[in-house]
Amino acid sequence: MASDALPEAVEPKKKGNVRFAFACAILASMTSILLGYDIGVMSGASLYIKKDLKITDVQLEILMGILNVYSLIGSFAAGRTSDWIGRRYTIVFAAVIFFAGAFLMGFAVNYGMLMFGRFVAGIGVGYALMIAPVYTAEVSPASSRGFLTSFPEVFINFGILLGYVSNYAFSRLPLKLGWRVMLGIGAAPSVVLALMVLGMPESPRWLVMKGRLADAKVVLGKTSDTPEEAAERLADIKAAAGIPADLDGDVVEVPRRENSEEARVWKELILSPSPAMRRILLSGLGIHFFQQASGIDAVVLYSPRVFKSAGITSDNKLLGTTCAVGVTKTLFILVATFLLDKVGRRPLLLSSVGGMVFSLVGLATGLTVINHYAGSQVPWAIGVSIASTMAYVAFFSIGLGPITWVYSSEIFPLQVRALGCALGVATNRVTSGVISMTFISLSNAITIGGAFFLYAGVAALAWVFFCTFLPETRGRTLENMSKLFGANDEDDLHGGAKKDKKLEMAAATN
């Protein structure tokens, strides 16, 4: 019924200076190139690392996937660092750490040094993965927040493509030099990024947190659609920082937060959540889990191995076909950014995952047939395997890839958003690490075709989960967002933590 429909957010009138907010969001999102480049370059470099260092399959898959585990350190440290030195310098710090990691990997003389380089680079990737969406969300005007929040995923895909191109470009170098150049040249984007970021303004939220209201007003004036929106955003940030609405000036004193507030956030989201909050948490963590558990890293990281199983034996052809995967991913992620706010999250997500299921079944079938007729060419099966791989990354990029980050940043209420997003990133990276570090062993145990049949089953479960749990969020206000998950009023959403606060206030009154 139309009368029961939730009101859609009113889109404010755009101004020319919104281009400045776009530029800031793009620069911040470019930190995601670091993660993408590492994923892409390792897919091809691993072929030569194994030959040169003579490592086992188990050592190789640990080397490939361990960066995701290491990135957790950087992700959790990024919050504290960004509050201390600011969002902008945290992005620079992430680039510096990744530069050091790429340098160590490029000059690695043995497996141990290579693993240490992965550790350092992983911390830098963790910083970048966490700070990019935070800065983007804090500078984006309301009319374009959904569009701009998808930019990190766009640049992850662009980084993957750069990594594939690097593999192809340096594959003809001598064995001992080629993979080291592939990994070491990853330091170049981090240097360029660090220099470009210095020209960005600081996040207005961080400026307000430090009491620098005059500076925050300047940035908000440049990154808002209208002066009215700039004033409204400033008022919201002041309220979140605990600054009285009537307190004004160039620099003001910010009240210190009590530890009880942080404890209350944990209780509200994790320890004693309301039914609505529990569903929000389950939805946020679930979409991050299924994004990785459906096998995207197995395809992207091990695409040369997949194509080799499909019957392509030449290294040049393997890397060339892998580049085609990167181009496909990048093109379709660009299409997705324009559809997110027009088509909606839910239709894109369900279509995307449905297509992924059929693509994985096709890939698994083709690889199984090729494996059954080992030693002889089966042209149709090779064609099906390659086409299914391209279709899989296309379907992933047009839906599940970008929507995971957009959706999880939308559904968590403001007071628990930082913790909720951090838990989402942790779930994403741990699941990615598990998939990356088990794919070769899984393929050896149940065949490579069997592994992709398993991922197809997981993707089918993901479709059922999304269809059951995830409502449409396009155009909804934050207050109405909680109603989508079953909260009737504020008390329903905050549950036990809200009751505790009321009891504290009653006790203080008495």
Q: What is the pLDDT of residue 12?
A: 44
- Of the candidates 464, 461, 460, which has an alpha carbon nearest to the alpha carbon of residue 359? 460
The secondary element (H helix, E strand) that includes residue 265 is helix 259-266
pLDDT confidence of residue 137 = 73
Structure confidence at residue 146 as a pLDDT band (50, 70, 90) = low
Q: Which two tokens stand for residue 278?
A: 């529990």
Residue scoring higher pLDDT (49 or 227): 49
pLDDT in the model for residue 87: 84
pLDDT of residue 142: 65
For residues 30-47, give the mean pLDDT: 83
> What's the average model confidence in pLDDT over 27-55?
84
pLDDT at 262: 65
Per-residue confidence (pLDDT) for residue 508, from 0 to 100: 46
**CA nearest to 280, candidates 402, 407, 411, 405:** 411
Q: Which residue has the tokens 């590492």?
A: 38
Region 7-28: what's the mean pLDDT? 62
The predicted pLDDT at position 15 comes to: 46
How high is the pLDDT of residue 219? 86
Q: Which residue has the higher pLDDT, 504 or 251?
A: 251
Q: Which tokens sit at 421?
A: 């997003």
Higher pLDDT, 431 or 248: 431
Select the more confidently predicted residue: 179 or 18: 179
For residues 40 and 325, give the distance between their C-alpha atoms in angstroms, rounded to a whole number: 10
Q: Is the pLDDT of residue 499 over 70?
A: no
Question: The tokens 């029961």 sit on which residue?
Answer: 4
Q: Is the pLDDT of residue 24 over 80?
A: yes
CA atoms of 200 and 413, how far apart (whole Å): 28
DSSP string, 117-139: HHHHHHHHHHHHHHHHHHHHHHH
Taking all residues of the chain, what is their mean pLDDT, rounded to a whole number? Answer: 80
Q: Is the per-residue pLDDT at 451 higher than 90?
A: yes
Band (475; pLDDT cuts 50, 70, 90): low
Give CA–CA dist 136/42, Å, rounded.
28
- The C-alpha atoms of residue 296 and residue 458 are separated, in whole angstroms, by 12
Which residue would you say has higher pLDDT here, 503 or 449? Answer: 449
Give the mean pLDDT of 38-45: 84
Q: Which residue has the higher pLDDT, 203 or 498?
A: 203
Do the beta carbons of residue 153 and residue 132 sit within 8 Å? no
Q: Which two tokens stand for residue 275?
A: 């039914």
Kindly indicate the confidence band of residue 258, based on its pLDDT and cuts at 50, 70 and 90: low
Higher-pLDDT residue of 460, 307: 460
% of the chain at pLDDT higher than 70 = 85
- Considering only 38-52, 66-80, 238-252, which range has the smallest mean pLDDT? 238-252
**How confident is the model over 129-139, as a mean pLDDT?**
78
Q: What's the rounded mean pLDDT across residues 110-132?
A: 88
Residues 389-395, mean pLDDT to the nearest whole number: 91
* 403-440 tens-digit pLDDT: 888 788 777 776 777 678 778 888 988 998 899 889 88
Average pLDDT of span 173-192: 87
Task: Between 388 and 337, name the one with better pLDDT.
Answer: 388
Q: Residue 203 CB: number of other CB atoms within 10 A?
A: 27
Confidence tier at 111 by pLDDT (50, 70, 90): very high
| The pLDDT of residue 3 is above 50 | no
Query: Looking at 95-99, 211-215, 326-330, which range is the least confident one?
Result: 326-330
- Identify the pLDDT of residue 114: 92
Average of pLDDT values for 34-49?
A: 84
Place of tokens 């994403």: 428
Give the residue-averaged pLDDT of 235-241.
76
Quote the pLDDT of residue 490: 53
d(CA 509, CA 50): 70
DSSP class of 26: H
Mean pLDDT, range 440-449, rounded to an integer = 90
Using the predicted structure, report yes or no on whether residue 2 has a pLDDT greater than 60.
no
Query: Does 481 have pLDDT greater than 70?
Result: no
Average pLDDT over residues 304-331: 76
**Greater model confidence, 297 or 358:** 358
Q: Average of pLDDT values for 37-47?
A: 84
pLDDT at 414: 64
Q: What is the pLDDT of residue 260?
A: 57
pLDDT (0 to 100) of residue 17: 55
